[in-house]
Amino acid sequence: MSNYLHDAVMAGTTLLVHAPAGEFYLDETATTPLVLLAGGVGITPLMAMLEHLLLSGSPREIRLLQAVRDADAQPFAQRLRLLARQHPNLRVFSLYGAPTPVLASDEDNQDEELQLALAGTLGYGPLTNKHLRHLLADVPRTAACYCCGPLGFMRHVNALLRGQGFESRHFEVFGPAQSLD
C-alpha cells in the first residue's frame, strides 16, 4: 500500500478509507506498565501508540526498546529523546546491531560506555535475556508488552518475554499473518 500511495496518489486525490481494524491496538483503559519493543521500522505503529498515550496525559510507566542496525538507521531517535526528557514516566533504550561510534557530547573526555548509558543505549548485538532483565528488572510481569518488527525479531522477543514470565504479549506482523511459535 505504501508504494501505491507514494507512486500513484497525487495531492488532492480522494481516497476511500475506513477506521483501523485488527488485533494490534493499545488498550487505553489499562493501568499496568507498558513495554514497547521495536525492531527497525516496527517502531512506526508503536510511535503512534506512544504519542497518543503521552498526549492523553497517562501516568502509565512506559519502557521502549528500539533495536536497529545502527544509530544512523534509527527512525524517530531525536523525537524519542525529546519525549523521554518531557515525560518522566517514559524510559527509552536503544540496542544497535553493530558498534556505534562514540556519541557527540559537550564533554569529550567521557568514555564510550558512559556516553552510551547517558543516551539510553543498551549497547550492541542481538537482544538477549540479559538486556531484557536490565530493561525490565523493576517492571511487574503483569505489564502489557507490544512488539512490532521483522518476524524473526518478534519470534525471538516472544520467546524471551515468555521465558521471563510476561503473559500480556501483543505482536504485529507486517505482511501476511504468520505464527510467532
pLDDT number for residue 103: 44
Could you identify the residue written with the cell 507490544?
146
Summarize pLDDT for 28-51 with one digit per residue, the tens: 889 999 999 999 889 999 999 999
pLDDT computed for residue 117 by the predictor: 43
**Which DSSP symbol is given to 28?**
T
C-alpha cell at 145: 508488552
In a domain, 25, yes or no: no
Residue 61 lies in a domain: yes
Domain that holds residue 166: 30-172
| pLDDT tens digits, 121-143 | 566 677 888 888 888 989 999 99
Rounded to an integer, what distance in angstroms lies between the CA atom of residue 37 and that of residue 149? 8
Question: Strand, helix or coil at 144?
Answer: strand
> 20 vs 53, which has greater pLDDT?
53
Residue 23 within any structural domain of the chain: no
CATH number at residue 120: 3.40.50.80
pLDDT computed for residue 127 by the predictor: 84
Sheet holding 62-68, edge to edge: 121-124, 90-96, 62-68, 34-39, 144-148, 168-172
Count of structural domains, the chain: 1
* Residue 120 belongs to some domain of the structure: yes
- Structural domain contains residue 64: yes
Give me the pLDDT at residue 16, please: 84
Look at residue 90 and tell me if it is in a domain.
yes
DSSP-derived letter for residue 102 is P
**Does residue 179 lie in a domain region?**
no
